[in-house]
Amino acid sequence: MTQRDTLKAVHEPFGDAFYYGSERLSSRYEDDVPGREDSGFTQSTYRTILDRFEREASEGKRLVIKDMAYYLFPPDAAPASIAPSVGRVKRGVGTTGAMHNGTTNGTTRAPYPYNSDAEPNNPTVIPRETLGNFHFTFLIRHPRSSIPSYYRCCVPPLDKVTGFYDFMPSEAGYEELRRLFDYLRSIGQVGPGMAHRDSNAGSAFDGPESLDGVESRNEVQFTNGVHSSQGVDSLDGVDSVNGVDSSNGVGHPNGVHDSNSADSSNGVTRGVEVCVIDADDLLDNPAGIVEAFCKSTGLNFTPDMLNWSTEADQQQAEEAFRKWPGFHDDAMNSSDLKPRQHVKSVEDENSEWAEKFGDEGARIIRQAVDANIEDYEYLKRFAIKV
């Protein structure tokens, strides 16, 4: 966001289609027509978002897209089919064409399931060919930090600001992030190479998931789907976690990372490096982690990336975060990265959550945290070590 001369930041664009448009996958606003209309995104589809990337990339800057893996998946692990606006349908013998934007199941409600085909093994609503235009990196955060922070945004008094009036545990997004990560590895778009790891860190990858073998491959920056760092255990500026950060290079010579043109050695497809950043590691060592990220993604690291205190930086942040009011207040009020508090005991966490949200709130948060730790710890194994 601070490198505006060479980079263009795009903040959570796929949420427009996921929540509000004619291809929406979420039920959050299904019975709230005024809420969808007030968003200004009722005309958004997955195609209009991809078209936006094309337009903005044509300006000559490399796009850096921060978004939630969750927005590319039908909720609750439902089987995926390709979003109609980005799919292809036969238009007669020997001809094909794009599906009409917004064509779904023929009803005016609950667009999903789409009246469209699925791609074999693709768990998302985006075609594999389209995913191949992005360079994926992954940002994760421990559920003990992200879940209570998100819960706070879905209950009074903050819910009146965010417009999210119910806490939906499925929106944590860790499962979707892991599934996207594994899919991209399986098709060779990410890996098997790893972003910088400490030579003393050793390897936890033995057997069928070894990063040195054919089985483990694959890498945009995506997070797990939890929007906010505000409130409990705030990241003081890092408010997008457990999702995907994608660089899209359409129209930019250094931006296209198409798995179809990935390096190949001895018949093994090699995608971009596996690049996973844990938010705690980032806060403990901002310069080291950001420099390793830049090296992995082909960006030039400069120390001024670690500070966004200028008026222009703040204005850019306000513009980017405006469409998600209440979710990014801490980030907007920050100017750099600050170290995290050290991990608390489970008992201390439960006590803190009960004090803030009541016993029932603490129970709901603990249940959601525990449900997502396995997926978080799986992805953590791949995190950059410096």
**Using one digit for the tens of pLDDT, what is the confidence trace for 205-257?**
433 333 332 222 223 566 565 544 333 333 333 333 456 666 654 433 334 33
Cβ neighbours of residue 351 closer than 8 Å, sequence gap 6 or more: none
Calpha distance 46→111 (Å, rounded): 13
Per-residue confidence (pLDDT) for residue 167, from 0 to 100: 97
**Using one digit for the tens of pLDDT, what is the confidence trace for 80-97?**
999 999 986 444 333 344
Nearest Cα to Cα of residue 231 among 223, 242, 239, 241: 239
**345: part of which helix (H) or strand (E)?**
none
**Using one digit for the tens of pLDDT, what is the confidence trace for 271-296?**
899 999 999 999 899 999 999 999 99
Per-residue confidence (pLDDT) for residue 321, from 0 to 100: 67
Secondary structure, 3-state, 231-289: CCCCCCCCCCEEEEEEEECCCCCCCCCCHHHCEEECCEEECEEECEEEHHHHHHCHHHH
Average pLDDT over every residue of 23-33: 94
**Using one digit for the tens of pLDDT, what is the confidence trace for 292-347?**
999 999 999 998 888 877 787 777 767 766 666 666 666 666 667 776 666 789 99
**Using one digit for the tens of pLDDT, what is the confidence trace for 362-381?**
999 999 999 999 999 999 99
The residues pairing with 278 across neighbouring beta strands, listed in sequence order, are 140
Calpha distance 283→191 (Å, rounded): 25
Per-residue confidence (pLDDT) for residue 102, from 0 to 100: 38
Average pLDDT over every residue of 49-64: 93
CB 77 within 8 A of CB 22: no
Residue 110 has pLDDT above 70, yes or no: no
DSSP single-letter state for residue 63: E
Per-residue confidence (pLDDT) for residue 111, from 0 to 100: 81
Residue with more model confidence, 70 or 315: 70
Per-residue confidence (pLDDT) for residue 251, from 0 to 100: 35
Residue with more model confidence, 112 or 216: 112
DSSP single-letter state for residue 383: B
Residue with more model confidence, 47 or 211: 47
**Using one digit for the tens of pLDDT, what is the confidence trace for 136-195?**
999 999 999 999 999 999 999 999 999 999 999 999 999 999 999 999 999 999 999 999
